[in-house]
A and B are shown apart, each in its own frame.
Chain A
Amino acid sequence: MAYGPHTPADRQRMLAALGMRSVDELFADIPEPLRASPLRLDPPEPEQLLMQRLAGLAARNKVELASFLGAGAYRHFSPPMVDQILLRGEWYTAYTPYQPEVSQGTLQSIYEYESLIAELVGLDVVSASHYDGAAATAEAALMTCRATSRGTVLVSRAVHPHYREVLRTYFDGAGLGLEEIPLVGDGPERGSTDLAAMKRRLAEADDPVAGVVVAQPNFYGLLEHMAEASRLAHAAGALFVAVVEPVSLAVLAPPGAYGADIAAGEGQALGIPPQYGGPYLGILACTDSLVRQIPGRLVGMTTDVDGKRAYVMTLQAREQHIRREKAASNICTNQTLLALAASVWLAALGPHGLRDVAALGAARAAELEAALASVGVARVHAGAYLNEFAVSVPNAPEVHRRLLDRGVLAGLVLAEAVPDEPGLADALLVCATEVTTGDDVATFARELGLVLAEIGSGPASNTGNGTGAATGDGTGAARSVGARA
């Protein structure tokens, strides 16, 4: 067996010590009718062949594309020192630090992570991590209900659709109310949270709101009026939850600056590879006054009996292993190794490096906007953005598919991602980061121009893929690959 150390002699010795002849005797307590049928699986695979199999599977993915896809997961440069540290067995094969005396490495790294994130978000209490940005946002929303003893949360429709769906699942589970705040439909504020509508809802006294959730930047890349939204929430006695993108916090005003009570977000952008969805890093932070409401592990500084500085998991009485059915959350395993990865990445880049990452993305995104405009493709919205924005593209799903064939991953087809949001039937959500090159941008613009000309020049019949997208009708029926949940 691959990782088992026992020789037949070892097994014999153990059985002899038990006065048994066969290991089957140890399973005699499984009643006959409950015994399993044999496992119908392939035989064991030696490592050499396993690696060939895995390499073959990996090769069936196409990752060498000029990619402009963000929408909640972002590619950034990671210095090799980060992964080399993460490959140390003392980090990745360590257990949860329940015996702090032999876990000071993990504990100190978590404390440092809490401190780094606290600096970035401007809030003092940071949990040791949640599963991902969506779960962190759901926990944040649940916190507002517990803290205010109210039962309804408002979430902007400009928060990531996956996050809103997870909020829905968690809130239905807990029997709490979740309502969506609509977006401004046109004009210069189109695509941002409709604060007037929010204010009207907050004023409804018969169903007071526990919390308001707004993202910055929002799903469409737009910058929201967070200070104003925060003020409106507080005026109605609700808490304000900011959903944030951590790299952007190098240059954008942090939640602490605009009075947010809780910040949640996805830490994947802190140098963690996309990995087709995870493991990621749910960031959750709050003000001091909410420290006993925040779920998840917390690491604090203390001293040992000799007076040495040391770190320990603290306020554990809140957690499931003690509080059980009264725990705020059932979370046990979290994302510690990813918190370490994010910390090492931040340590590797430093504040200047992080700021440069954000600024480079912004510069490249502006370049992208201009390049797309030069082939007649303009932004959907007018508001300010950092490095992500939506563009109007006739027949967006078909254009996206053709660009993919030409080696360009042209962002996200919004008609498929947010089918219920009006006015986005022909739009792509595109982003640029510091790893997007000028060549990538030029390629995208050039190929987009060619594809638009192709499609615009008669019935779409070149590819025979039977999508049936008629010229110029702009409906772009979503078919086959590219259609995404």
Chain B
Amino acid sequence: MVPSDLRYTKDHEWVRIDGDTATIGVTDFAAGQLGDVVFVDLPAVGKAVEQFATFGVVESVKAVSDLYAPLSGEVVDVNADLGGKPELVNSDPFGDGWMIRVKVGDAAQLEELLDAAGYEKLTAEA
């Protein structure tokens, strides 16, 4: 079961809300599909991200995937550990493998995302 306190996109990103800050990453399912992650290309602090638009790229040995923002907002933090240890996305996708933190523009956008059950259903059908 994926963490129940998170929300999910149908492109396999997750988001955790803490006040007006959202932490964003990719799910274990995505990490499994990708295989060993070798590089994560993330935006700079201060950049604006838009809901469902791409904010970066995650690269594995055999695949490259665009990363889609679950919510709109301004990037306030980027996981610097991923530079030297991209494998964190595989080993701890919901924890140390987090990618960016964003100051949320419109909390109502959360409603457009899947909850844990909805995401489980999506991946079960895949």
Contacts and interface: CB of A to CB of B under 8 A. Distances in A.
A and B part of one assembly: yes
A100 B63 CA distance: 18
Contacts of B62: 316-317, 322
B90 to A, nearest CB: 15
Most chain B CB inside 10 Å of its own CB: which residue of A317, A318, A323, A326 = A317
A316 B62 CA distance: 7
Contacts of B51: none
Contact of B61 (A292, A316, A323): A316
A315 B63 CA distance: 10
Contacts of B60: 317
Contacts of B59: 317
A322 B59 CA distance: 10
Interface in A168-186: none
A390 B41 CA distance: 49
Contacts of A315: 38
A472 B94 CA distance: 83
B60 to A, nearest CB: 7
A234 B60 CA distance: 33
Contacts of B122: none
A318 B41 CA distance: 13
B100 to A, nearest CB: 19
Contacts of A316: 61-62
Most chain A CB inside 10 Å of its own CB: which residue of B39, B41, B64 = B64
Interface string A285-313: 00000001000000000000000000000
Interface in B44-103: 59-64
A322 B64 contact: yes
A186 B8 CA distance: 67
B17 to A, nearest CB: 31
Contacts of A317: 38, 59-64
A322 B39 contact: no
Contacts of A318: 64
A323 B38 CA distance: 15
A475 B101 CA distance: 70
Contacts of A292: 39, 41
A315 B60 CA distance: 9
B39 A323 contact: no
A292 B58 CA distance: 13
Contacts of B39: 292
A115 B41 CA distance: 27
A326 B61 CA distance: 16
A292 B59 CA distance: 11
Nearest to B34: A317
A315 B38 CA distance: 9
A304 to B, nearest CB: 15
Interface string A310-337: 0000011110001100100000000000
Interface in A185-228: none
A326 B65 CA distance: 11
B62 to A, nearest CB: 7
A95 B46 CA distance: 47
A322 B63 CA distance: 6
Contacts of B63: 317, 322
Nearest to A321: B62
Contacts of A326: 64
Interface in B9-39: 38-39
Contacts of B41: 292
Contacts of B38: 315, 317
A316 B39 CA distance: 12
Nearest to B66: A326
A322 B35 CA distance: 14
Contacts of A323: 64
A114 B41 CA distance: 25
Sorted nearest first, the 5 A-B pairs with minimum C-beta distance are A317-B64, A317-B59, A323-B64, A322-B64, A322-B63
Interface of A: 292, 315-318, 322-323, 326
17 contacts: A292-B39, A292-B41, A315-B38, A316-B61, A316-B62, A317-B38, A317-B59, A317-B60, A317-B61, A317-B62, A317-B63, A317-B64, A322-B62, A322-B63, A322-B64, A323-B64, A326-B64
Given A292-B39, A317-B61, 16 more contacts: A292-B41, A315-B38, A316-B61, A316-B62, A317-B38, A317-B59, A317-B60, A317-B62, A317-B63, A317-B64, A318-B64, A322-B62, A322-B63, A322-B64, A323-B64, A326-B64
